[in-house]
Every structure is written in C-alpha cells, then in structure tokens.
Amino acid sequence: MSGGSDIGIRFDGVSVAYGANTVLDSLDLTVERGEVMALLGPSGSGKTTALRAVAGFVQPVRGRVLIGDRDVTDLPPHRRGVGMVVQSYALFPHLRVEDNVAFGLKAQKADKAGIPARVAEALEMTGMAGYAKRYPRELSGGQQQRVAIARALAIRPGVLLLDEPLSALDAQLRSGMLAELARLHRELPEVSILYVTHDQVEALTLADRIAVMDQARLQDCGTPQELYRSPRTEFTASFVGNANLLPVRVGDGQVRLGDAELTVDTAGVAAGTTATLCVRPHLVGLGEGVNALRGTVAEVQWRGATHRLYVDVAGQRVKADVRELRVPPALGERVALHFAPEDAVLLSAGVSADE
C-alpha cells in the first residue's frame, strides 16, 4: 500500500484471549498518522487490552498490529518505540525528574551529548522545566503526570499511548490537563495518539475520532459530532453523552410513543416496526410545542444552572435538562415536554446493542 506511511496504528483482526475468556474480539481499527483516537468504553470493554496489544504487553491470539507500516505483532515492547503514559504515572521513584525523562534516551543509546538538550526540550514542552532536580515524591499528581508525558515524548515516538491518563487527577486539574494535551497534540502534529478513557467528556474534547468499545468488541467509530448527533446504536447513544432512549412504533413520517404522535425523520426504518428514539436531555424543553410528551413529574434535581426533570411518559422515564426554573414543578404534577423533530434520531431495532 503506497499510503503506508499515513498509518499511525492499525489493528488487523486483533483478538486477545486469556484461556477461554476473550477480552478483545477481532478488532479492526486504523488510527491515521497524527490523529487522536479515543477508545471509549466501560471497564472490561477491551479498550485497555487493545492499547496493551500496541505496546506489546499482551500477545494477540489472532490478527496483526501495525505501527506505521511496520508489523510489530511479534516484536518485544522495547523494540516498538511507542511512548506510553498510564494512570498511575509509573515514574521511577529513585530517579530525579531529569533522569526519569532521560531514561528512554539512555536505554535507546541515544547520542550522549544530545541527551540533556532533549530532556530539557521535553520538560519545556510539558511545563516542567523548573522541576528537573526534584524527585517524583516531591511533586503533585498533576506534575507527576506531566513528567510521565515528558518521559514518553523524549524518545520522540511516532505513537503515544495514553491509558486513562487523567483518571487519578481531580476534576479541576483534569480539565487543565485536557487543554494541555490538546496543545501538545497541536505542537506534535505527526504523533498518533491512542487515548483510552471511560470518560466521554475527555473523548469528546480531545479526540479526532472515537472508537466506542463494549463487551470486547468495537461497537461504533466516528467523529465526536457523528457519534453524538447521530449515534448508530443504543450503546453509543447512552455512553457518548447521555440520551433518552424511548421505544416507539414507527409509522409513516411519524412515530408513536403511547398515545403521543411524534414527527421525526423515519428514513431508513420500515413502517410498522419498533425502533428506539434517541433524544438528548438538554434538547428537551418544558411546555407545549411540537412533539409534545405529557406525563407526571417523578423527580426534580437542581443542578445550579439547570434543572434535571424526570417525567414519566407512557411508562417511560424521560430526562429533560432545562434552564434553571424559578418555580420548578411539584412532584406528581402533570407537565408537557417537547423537542424539535431534527433533534431526535431514530435507531432501528436491528442495530440496537442489546437484543
């Protein structure tokens, strides 16, 4: 293939199993050069296994792993040349920050004279230049994670593997580090990044594309916009963002939920079948309108800027995030909700994730 150098990472039917337990089931996925691919899924979905297959810490029972146009399936980890950052930082506790960052350069027998400059460059890039002489235990969690990133970048890898890198940080640090990672990616446009996370905000913020994993399988893959605005499966709809998934009967140009007749785009779904209607809670409004859903208020949560209402409509609990209400509805009160036809996506039953 002439475009071989455009590949960052390629999974070619990769399966990983421990005994009879398949933890990754024939994964086919290509990460372009310079692309940020998020592997998003709940724990046990196989996303970390996929990353470890790239790093070389698990051996696939079937399939090939390619980095660039190199088949690395049978290479030991130390010959793969990937940078890796994990949740626990995994810094070497007895080495100073600068020696941690220099470790990879020394291990790869880089030109001795050039090492200090490359260490300084990596620390500069992650904003840790002032901490070169410190030991890891003298740094905060966020600082340790920056050092871990600097250590991974110092060897100038073509591929950077990030395994839940922000999960050990508190919420405020996390959003700061997200911005940092986005900046690093802009500064290193050649580096492909595989980013494993269970946090959809991280995936939506950072990724060029998101691969949604569940039960050892790739469920869906697309840009954040595609997955968020028009999810193809119920699993994607509920995991990427948060969605109301309502079982409806499909008619011609409209669907029925209980007594309510709702106008949505029914293209591609046969009339007379059942399907799942996906509507994001923040796109649901309170009050009468087109596509009105009438029901009783089951729960009201005040979240500062918004109110989250849970309304029982025809046996289904519908979530609505509305702007803070001066007088929120009382529990048990009958209210009407509405949503615009173009804000709903109809998922035909055939592509639903669970039977």
Partner 1 sequence: MPTPLPPGGPPALRNISPRPRQKTGWWALPPVVALAFVFLYPLVLLVQQSLTPLEGGTSVRPYADVFADPAFREALGTTVWLALAATVGCLVLGFVLALVIAFVPFPGAKAVARFVDVFLSFPSFLITLALLFVYGTVGMANGMWTDVTGAASGPFQFLTTPWGVLLAEITYFTPFVMRPLLAAFSQIDTAQIEAASSLGAKAPRIVRQIILPEALPALAAGGSLVLIMCLNEFGIVLFTGAKGVTTLPTLVYSKAILESDWTGACVVAVVNVVISVSLYGLYRVVSRRAGA
DSSP annotation string for 5-40 = GGEEEEEEEEEEEETTEEEEEEEEEEEETT-EEEEE
Q: Nearest to residue 321, comparing CAs of 329, 333, 310?
A: 310
No. of helices (H) and no. of strands (E), the chain: 8, 20
Closest distance to partner 1 from the beta carbon of 82 (Å) = 6
Closest distance to partner 1 from the beta carbon of 87 (Å) = 8
Residue 254 one-letter amino acid: Q
Q: Which 55-74 positions form the footprint of partner 1 (CB under 8 A)?
A: 55-57
Q: Which of 42, 69, 71, 92 binds partner 1 (CB under 8 A)?
A: 92
Name the one range near partner 1 by CB under 8 A: 86-94, 122-130, 185-193, 271-279.
86-94
Q: How many residues bind partner 1 (CB under 8 A)?
A: 28
Residue 79 or 323 with smaller CB distance to partner 1: 79
Q: Which of 8, 46, 81, 295 binds partner 1 (CB under 8 A)?
A: 81
Which residues pair with residue 97 across a beta bridge?
none
- As a whole number of angstroms, the distance between CA 177 and CA 201 comes to 13
Name the one range near partner 1 by CB under 8 A: 29-37, 78-86, 127-135, 138-146.
78-86
Packing angle, helices 97-107 and 115-125, rounded to 10: 130
Q: Do the Cβ atoms of 73 and 241 come closer than 8 Å?
A: no
Q: Which 144-173 positions form the footprint of partner 1 (CB under 8 A)?
A: 148, 151-152, 155
Instruction: Classify residue 208 by its DSSP letter.
Output: S
Closest distance to partner 1 from the beta carbon of 14 (Å) = 18
Q: Which of 66, 67, 82, 216 binds partner 1 (CB under 8 A)?
A: 82
Burial environment of residue 110 by CB neighbours within 10 A (0 to 12, 13 to 18, 19 or more): middle
Closest distance to partner 1 from the beta carbon of 107 (Å) = 4
- As a whole number of angstroms, the distance between CA 147 and CA 135 comes to 11
Q: Which of 8, 46, 68, 104 binds partner 1 (CB under 8 A)?
A: 104
| Residue 317, helix vs strand vs coil | strand
Closest distance to partner 1 from the beta carbon of 118 (Å) = 13
108 binds partner 1 (CB under 8 A): yes
Q: Do the Cβ atoms of 224 and 257 come closer than 8 Å?
A: no
Closest distance to partner 1 from the beta carbon of 234 (Å) = 35
What are the strands, taking DSSP E only, across the chain? 7-18, 21-32, 36-40, 62-67, 70-71, 82-86, 159-163, 192-197, 209-214, 217-222, 244-250, 254-257, 260-263, 274-279, 285-286, 293-302, 306-313, 316-323, 334-338, 344-348
Closest distance to partner 1 from the beta carbon of 61 (Å) = 17
Residue 50 or 148 with smaller CB distance to partner 1: 148
Q: Which of 4, 44, 107, 325 binds partner 1 (CB under 8 A)?
A: 107
Residue 86 or 269 with smaller CB distance to partner 1: 86
Q: Which of 7, 84, 178, 264 binds partner 1 (CB under 8 A)?
A: 84
Residue 82 or 269 with smaller CB distance to partner 1: 82
Q: Nearest to residue 79, comparing CAs of 67, 69, 91, 90?
A: 67
Residues 21-60: x where in contact with partner 1 by CB under 8 A, - otherwise, as a string: ----------------------------------xxx---
List interacting residues with partner 1 (CB under 8 A).
55-57, 76-84, 86, 88, 90-95, 103-104, 107-108, 148, 151-152, 155
